[in-house]
Structure 1
Amino acid sequence: MKKLSLTLLLTIAIIIAPTQRSHAIVWVVVKAAIKKVIIAIDLGIQKQQNKVIWLQNAQKTLENYMSKLKLDEISDWSEKQKAQYQKYFDELRNVKLLISYYQRIKDITQKETRIINEYKRAWNLLKNDTHFTAKELDYMEKVYNGILDETVKNIDQLTMVINSLQTQMTDEKRLEIIDKTSGKVDENYMDLLLFNRQNAMLSLQRAADEADINRVKSIYSLK
């Protein structure tokens, strides 16, 4: 967690300095942070799934044992045995819930990765587009920095939820954070796509002739 926090702080510090070199570094650092989160989630899912298999096997064994008992023997069960049996069901339910959390967080994190990839693709095109002035590119850079800053904040929220799976945070609170982060990521992604398209259309409007128009359409995948 400390290493990831340092990575996020480094990312934020880099974002503050709006230079072309910083964009390349930001992309590498943020994507590395996202990759760490995804790997952690994959390991978490695998670990919890293994636990589910073990618990299901234990549950099956207990059920088989119960099916062989006579009714009078079942009625003689001690409270401790009943509690132990119930414990398996409760644990199985909790572990399955954790897996659903992990999967949702992974889905959100992969959206973050798409944001980074889309940002890199668009910025590489824009900074080499002669239809834009240096001042316009500087403005675009600031907008992208803002989008990347939000990406870092979302990663931080996801990391907090991952860590909370080992704490006493309530399920309601976890779901609230996950839902809120998911909404922000979707909004962030749509803002990025809209900004990219606006810039592409502006470049198309400034195309000098038919050949230039076709070139811009091809570069930005416009129809």
Structure 2
Amino acid sequence: MSQLKNILQDMKRGYSIVSDGYRKVKNIAEGNFSLHEVFLDGLMVVSPEVKKYRRVADIISAQKAIVSEYRKSFKRLASADVLGSGELEYISRVYAGIFQGSMDNLDELAMVITSSRLRMDDQQRLEAIDRVFQDISGKLEFLRAFNRDASVLLELRKREAAGVKSVQDLFGN
């Protein structure tokens, strides 16, 4: 009976960690970035080497950049009035895919740095954190390249619209 009680307590503690982690990740997605609150609770039970690993902060910074950059860029693209609804829908789907992938990265990070979730030694945890960092960095690089391409398209469309307007003005239409 005592073992069952211990198992149930461990399950409850694990559920609390996961619930709290999801709440904090949601706050990150909404722009409430607080590295201290997000992961230090889970790191309390992980070795100091993992706790202080710089890639954890780098991952959070990359997530913050992804959210900030895609919001800013989408707002600019949507307000320009030169892209069609199909194009904006496509852009929105690309951003949603990048964002969901980055949230998956944060879920994986939370699992890795919370010792009760996975049985890993410190080296395995550091390697897993490095993999998450590489993946989220790739997403950020892709987002930036996509935003550059979308900006070029936006400028071309603006020039095209200005050219059409000039021709209309010239011919009195």
TM over 0.5: yes
Residue 41 of structure 1 corresponds to 39
Deviation at residue 207 of structure 1 after TM alignment:
2.1
Q: CA 1:211/1:135 → structure 2, altered by over 3 Å: closer, same or farther?
A: closer
Q: CA 1:162/1:150 → structure 2, altered by over 3 Å: closer, same or farther?
A: same
Q: Is the 8 A contact 2:50 2:113 kept in 1?
A: no
Provide the identity percentage: 25
**Across the two proteins, how many residue pairs are aligned to each other?**
146
Q: Is the 8 A contact 1:112 1:151 kept in 2?
A: yes
How far apart, in 2, do the equivalents of 1:204 and 1:6 lie?
A: 39
Residue identity in the other structure for 1:153: D
Residue 100 of structure 1 corresponds to 52
How far apart, in 2, do the equivalents of 1:205 and 1:166 lie?
A: 50
Q: Could you tell me which of 189, 200, 207 is aligned with 2:158?
A: 207
Deviant stretches of 4+, over 3 Å = 4-9, 34-38, 40-45, 165-168, 208-212
Q: Is the 8 A contact 2:112 2:118 kept in 1?
A: no
Q: Is the 8 A contact 1:38 1:110 kept in 2?
A: no
Deviation at residue 37 of structure 1 after TM alignment:
5.4
Q: Which has the higher contact order (CA 8 A, sep 6+)?
A: 2
Residue 141 of structure 2 corresponds to 190
Q: CA 1:8/1:40 → structure 2, altered by over 3 Å: closer, same or farther?
A: closer
Residue identity in the other structure for 2:115: S
Structure 1 residue 122 and structure 2 residue 73: aligned? yes
Deviation at residue 199 of structure 1 after TM alignment:
0.7
TM (norm. structure 2) is 0.69
How far apart, in 2, do the equivalents of 1:209 and 1:104 lie?
A: 44
Residue identity in the other structure for 1:2: V
Runs of at least 5 residues in structure 2 that lack an aligned partner in the other structure: 1-16, 164-173
Residue 19 of structure 2 corresponds to 3
Deviation at residue 29 of structure 1 after TM alignment:
6.4
Runs of at least 5 residues in structure 1 that lack an aligned partner in the other structure: 12-27, 49-93, 213-223
Q: Could you tell me which of 150, 163, 179 is aligned with 2:130?
A: 179
RMSD value, Cα: 3.3
Residue identity in the other structure for 1:39: E
Residue identity in the other structure for 1:98: V
TM (norm. structure 1) is 0.55
